[in-house]
Chains A and B, each alone.
Chain A
Amino acid sequence: MSRVFVCGLGAVSPAGWNVAALREALSKSEPLPVQPLERPGGDKSLRARLVPAPATRLGFLAHPRLRRTSPITHYAAAAALDAVAGLRARPAEKIRLGLVVCMQAGCVNYSCRFFDEVLKDPATASPLLFPETVYAAPASHVAALLEDVTLADTLVGDPASFLQGVALGIRWLEENTVDACLVIGTEETNWILADALRHLDRRAVITGGAGAICLSLDPALSMGVALESITDAHSYRTSTSRTQAARAMRQQLPASSPAELLCDGLSDSPRTDAAEQAAWCDWTGPRLSPKRVLGEGLMAAAAWQCVAACDLVSAGRFPAANISLVGSNQQAMGARFKQDRQGI
């Protein structure tokens, strides 16, 4: 694998609309407050950690493509703009940007609204809503906003797919089809997701947001962090349990020292966490579990893991960080980021 440098980070989470807010919330290690989430047709309220309203109106909403978009696009766009800010500080250089947007649930708000209208009367269902239900809509809007995107893909999968997105970006970089690649994991909150999650994990609290990481082979763009390795995607099958896949992922990561960080996906749900706990049972070093603070953000949570880890490594808090993504129903993948001051 070529040397791949991290050249920008972005995050929108229930902690706020930037990486600093994410950093601060995680440093406190206190779970963020939970809000009730209304659901139609029921007398119970579901729970969620909602992304707070931005302090000021988001400037990018003035872009004609983003006026009618749903929160998932707002989150992705805000995280994207932060992550490419470093690239944009070099206006003289024309950058060919690749974009990979990863999601698990995707555009559920407009899907629910549109389907609700269809069930009531399809003849009057709004044509404005339907295009925003498409998985590819956020990538399309972000590409239009950034303008210099030459290649874009939307990947759907469980949260470990975020690292598939990273691996895809690396391939584009190595093929020299792009100069930098922006990988975004994004989700939005909706009552139906909270309802579905309750069936699968009663302790989990749904949340939304986005995380973005910008990669390049150019050390001059680096923020002092390089991706050292990324594992295979270890798929689950009837014959391969989550635990087996998680262990295989762990074994494939390079050996690490106790001074390094493990950024995992634990969420205080014993059943959900069991496979990942088993894979890392011997880990004695420092550990960061963003979901314990932020909630179950699905693909966004996977992105937050990478963003938070890179942020800490970039700040010199750890020489390296291991990312453990043990997805809910598809695969386990891992990665290791390390300090790399070349180019800084």
Chain B
Amino acid sequence: MPAPPPRVVITGAGIVTALGLGWKPNAEGFRAGRSAFRPVSLFDVSRQRVKTAAEVDLPDALPPTGLSHRQAARLDRAGKMLLLAANEAWRQAGWKPAQAPAVGSSAFTRPEPPEGGTPNSSPNKDADDIPLILGTTAGGMSLGEDYFRQAVKSPVRHCRQPTRAVHYQPQVQARMVLDALNINGPVTIIANACASGSNAIGHAWNLIRCGQAERVLAGGYDALSLLVFAGFDALQTLSPTVCRPFDARRDGLALGEGAALVALETLEHAQRRSAPILGELIGYGTTIDQHHLTQPQPEGNAALTAMQLACESAGLTAGDIDYVNAHGTGTPLNDSAEALAIRRWAGDRAGTLPGSSTKASIGHLLGAAGAVEAVICLMALREQWLPVQAAFETPDPACNFPIVRQPRDARLNVALSNSFGFGGVNATLIFRRWA
């Protein structure tokens, strides 16, 4: 009988949102249900329908890391947020680059040893191989925008163009994290739109459970950019009023920016080094909704399957879940489909199952959303409170699970987080309190 897969725990979490930098200000903000929207200052929105978003206040200086001044100077807004979140997760986990040998040094399948031979190994594979798995939708889009502007306006002016062409690519931003933290693992960039961050964490979970890694750094990041803002505005999916997920009068989403990373490792690895544990990742499900590029299947079929698969992998039922962090973008179609999927999945339990969409506080963070919401679940489980939905006035009869509207403490043992993306990839993560 095969050994059961190792349990996967989280020992570090880094988070950057418009509510603040790091665990503490974010935990306080989500617990209180603060809203972080303000007029957009990063680019001109005078000709857009909507003029607000949840912008992050970046610090004047980045924390000291392994990056040179020159490397740090090349980071764009997204790269800085990624670095801040990675650094916080890394430090909280207390990981050291060469702490212990990894079980399998690669994120991926290695060759079988030849008959009678020894496994292949490479000279630079050593103890500091930690896979880095990131979700993003835009990478360094602001650099790409600058490249485009200059290439069109001044085609013969090449100043800074080579740097932009390289550094707008997400894998190059990820490499900065490797250099900053002095780690050496494989980098995987998942671009499943708004499910990317959850998928990245889910991939990490799978990687550890199948024995290909003992610890993984995973999460998501995205910065506000003109192209993306204008895109959602053109689609008229941005709320011209207030982002109110699951509200009967909801009229669209709001955009935000940020990053979150978590340090995942086997329980055994964490206990071996007596690391404080923030929570356990116990379930992951992912599906593809083929209904439409930008609209969910109205009955929420794929969302339902994602939740069911996650519960199945966790060995739980809906009755065991204490809180749902919904994808809840605030668009009429998404929230209807998700609410229906939750009702179908949870049955009678839906009527008493607390849920909220934290996008009402910080906006939709796209590729970072799933990772940020994972960290919010960890905060709620660790500190035993329910994340408040910042804006909610008129209940929609179609959305029949109770929205958390007021700050309150709660006994939470298990939290579920949904992320659904443009293009149809859905992902659900389930976390358990570590006590």
Contact = CB atoms under 8 A, between A and B. Distances in A.
A157 B155 contact: no
Contacts of B122: 231-232, 234, 248-249, 251-252
DSSP majority for the A interface? mixed
Contacts of B170: 156-157
Contacts of A230: 108-111
A183 B287 CA distance: 17
Interface string A137-166: 101110110010111111111100100100
Contacts of A95: none
A260 to B, nearest CB: 15
A286 B93 CA distance: 49
Contact of B107 (A115, A150, A233, A248): A233
A45 to B, nearest CB: 11
A229 B112 contact: yes
Interface string A106-132: 100001101110110111011100111
Nearest to B309: A177
A330 interface: yes
Interface stretch (B84-92, B231-239, B345-353, B408-416): B231-239
A119 B179 CA distance: 35
A330 B187 contact: yes
B124 A245 contact: yes
Contacts of B230: 114, 118, 122, 125, 130
B424 A235 contact: no
A229 B111 contact: yes
A99 B425 CA distance: 11
B171 interface: yes
A171 B108 contact: yes
Interface stretch (B158-166, B355-363, B373-381): B158-166
B423 A137 contact: yes
A175 B206 contact: yes
A136 B293 CA distance: 9
B422 interface: yes
A139 B423 contact: yes
B170 to A, nearest CB: 6
A316 interface: no
A200 interface: yes
Given A136-B422, A167-B108, A104 B169 contact: yes
A192 interface: yes
B290 interface: yes
Interface in B177-230: 178-179, 184-193, 199, 206, 210, 212, 226-227, 230
Contact of A171 (B155, B161, B185, B206): B206
Interface stretch (B143-151, B265-273, B317-325, B332-340): B143-151
Contact of B147 (A151, A196, A240): A196
A255 B152 CA distance: 50
A174 B2 CA distance: 14
B165 A200 contact: yes
A122 B148 CA distance: 16
A134 interface: yes
